Amino acid sequence: MRATIDGTVIAEATEDQLIRIEGNWYFPPAAVTPGALGESPTAYTCPWKGAAQYFDVVTPNGTTRDGAWSYPQLKPSAVERVGADFAGYVAFSPGVTVGD
């Protein structure tokens, strides 16, 4: 599966490497194209996952503010709830196309 914006691949991995949570595909960190993400100051805390890190998605055509997010340090109950450790995995906001 690929995450793309304006034809630029931001992340790519096989579906068995991804984790689907609440309708979002989470890509392993190694699947993200180097240099595609820049840290954002946007703060958010999910009640059951923990504190999120937002990222701006950077492509040759521009920057999509807060186009991706990750949970670097999960609450232990989040791992139990999902059945997998997805700390550091990256999901994408609307505007980023995720598909085959």
Q: Rounded CA gap, 86 and 44, in Å?
A: 17
Q: Give the pTM.
A: 0.95
Mean pLDDT of all residues in 9-30: 97
All structural domains of the chain, each given as residue ranges with its CATH number in brackets, are 2-99 (2.170.150.40)
50 touches 75 (CB < 8 A): yes
- Where does the pLDDT of residue 32 fall: very low under 50, low under 70, confident under 90, or very high at 90 and above? very high
Percent of the chain with pLDDT over 90: 97
Give the DSSP H/E element, type plus range, for residue 80.
Answer: helix 76-82
SS3 60: coil
Q: Is the pLDDT of residue 100 over 90?
A: no
